[in-house]
Structure 1
Amino acid sequence: MAKPKRGRSLWRLPSRGRGTCPICSSTRIKLLYPRTKSNGSVVQVCKRCSKADQMKVEAISS
């Protein structure tokens, strides 16, 4: 059975939830997974990088 509202929430995000992943530098990829840095800031990453080591998340500047 088809789900007519699947992905509807993506349309409300800027650029439909897509951008460049700060960890792997993949372009035009969905950034839907939040990762928290030690200073409390949150960065959005791609699905592959959502399971990355915390050291890679900490290495992100800004």
Structure 2
Amino acid sequence: MSKPKRGRSLWGLPSRGRGTCPICNSTRIKLLYPRAKTNGTVVTVCKKCSKAEQNKVDAV
């Protein structure tokens, strides 16, 4: 059976959840994974960068 609700939550996000990843600078990629910096701010990154080292996240 098909899954009609798959990806539906993305429609409420700006640009359907897509943008430029602040870590790897990939364009038109889904930014769905929040990463916290050491100073407490949160940035959303792509799936590839969700497992990036903390020093790369802090450099943004």
Gaps of 5+ in 1: none
Aligned residues: 60
SS at match of 1:15: helix
> TM-score, length-normalised on structure 1?
0.95
Alignment of 1:32-43 (within 5 A): 32-43=32-43
SS at match of 1:44: strand
> TM-score, length-normalised on structure 2?
0.98
Q: Runs (4+) of structure 1 moved beyond 4 Å? A: none
In 2, Cα distance between the equivalents of 1:9 and 1:26?
22
Percentage of matched positions with identical amino acids: 80
In 1, Cα distance between the equivalents of 2:55 and 2:43?
14
2:5 matched residue in structure 1? 5
Gaps of 5+ in 2: none
